Amino acid sequence: MELIDLLRELSDAFGVSGFEDEVRERITDLVSPYVDEVKTDTLGNLFATRTGKEEFTLMLDAHMDEVGFMVKWIDENGYLRFAPLGGWDERIIPSHRVEILTRSREKRYGVIGSAPPHILKEEERKQPIPLEKMFIDVGASSRQEAADMGINIGDPLTIHYPFTELCSGYVTGKAFDDRVGCAVMIETARRLAKRELKVNLVLSFVIGEEVGLRGARTAAYQIDPDLALALEGTIGADMPGIPEENQPVRLGRGPAITVADHTIIVSRRMVEALEQAAVTEEATIPYQYKLPTYGGTDAGAIHLSRAGVLSGVVSVPCRFIHSPTSTLRLNDFENTVRLVTRFIEALPDILR
């Protein structure tokens, strides 16, 4: 599968926090040919494992869930009210199309609406619309009609526009945070499938990162790794109006190595090992540093597991994350795969 097709399949899959079933099923099919064992735990975390020669375990982490919403009320006229699952910027929510997953796993569609500007007071038109004043129109004219469509309180939904290639090597889609990390892990497993590994490799596709690093916490406890590397899609802010010193990462400059964020201060030992993997006599993989201390990742939970885990973070730069139209450059994606693959092949010696 081409990298662009892999990313398309994962981006278009439904997987709001707490409802990762569809994306987990797709990942299972995609990664199974390249590993020795695949299993799912109680919470829905997916573990794909390859056995190495030495008693050393590397946990690769990426979260399957995406930011979304949940139906919290259906009024007598059939309009839906909704609550966020994960962090949203309220400014971008109105007027988008949404995809709703019913209990029968059928998809229903609607539009996020709000009072039109024509009937608002002047001061109201200047302010972002509060989430509690938004609603979803699914075409129902009553609560019963919405129920007949299979829509219930508690159903998850998200804003969804199909994955698209904007121009050669530049793509847009939803859920790049963190389906791009999942894609990096699957492609890394494919490239390593016929190579002998020194270390035990556990690919941990986890649930619930967007609502508090939940899956990573229990996954790390189960795996009990010697080393962990979280793979993410992170904050590409190289755009008009943002000073360079406030741009966490920039597109086209390769994978981003985290030195510190809101959840972890990465050990210098780990940062230097990733740098060493990027720069070899054979070839140099371009990389950058994610400027501290923006955001947070599953590494924040993993490095505190049990007696502590040496952990790091490598990310693919993505503009407009936590929106339905995240964008990335495929060369950054490719170079992230190259860096992670080379890092794994150098373990455990690269840490000594």
> Using an 8 Å Cβ cutoff, are 22 and 191 in contact?
no
Q: What's the CA gap between 19 and 10, in Å, rounded?
A: 15
The answer to whether the beta carbons of residues 38 and 48 sit under 8 Å apart is: yes
Residues 237 and 321: their CA atoms lie apart, in Å, by 10
Cβ atoms within 10 Å, residue 147: 13
Structure tokens of 51? 């056995």
**DSSP at 249:** B
CB atoms within 10 A of CB 195: 10
Smallest Cα–Cα separation from 273: which of 186, 344, 209? 344
106 is known as an active-site residue: no
| CA 91/CA 172 separation, integer angstroms | 20
Find the length of the chain: 352
* Distance in angstroms (rounded) separating the CA atoms of residues 161 and 240: 24
**Rounded-to-integer distance, Cα 182 and Cα 228, Å:** 15
DSSP 207: S
Q: Of the listed 20, 99, 187, 209, which one is catalytic?
A: 209
User: Which tokens go with 132?
Assistant: 């509690």
CB neighbour list of residue 176: distance below 8 Å, 6 or more residues apart: 11, 233, 316, 318, 321, 326, 327, 328
Helix (H) / strand (E) element for 205: namely strand 200-206
The conformation of residue 255, written as its DSSP 8-state character, comes to -
Question: Residue 155, Cα to own-chain centre: how many angstroms?
Answer: 21
List, by residue number, the catalytic residues.
209
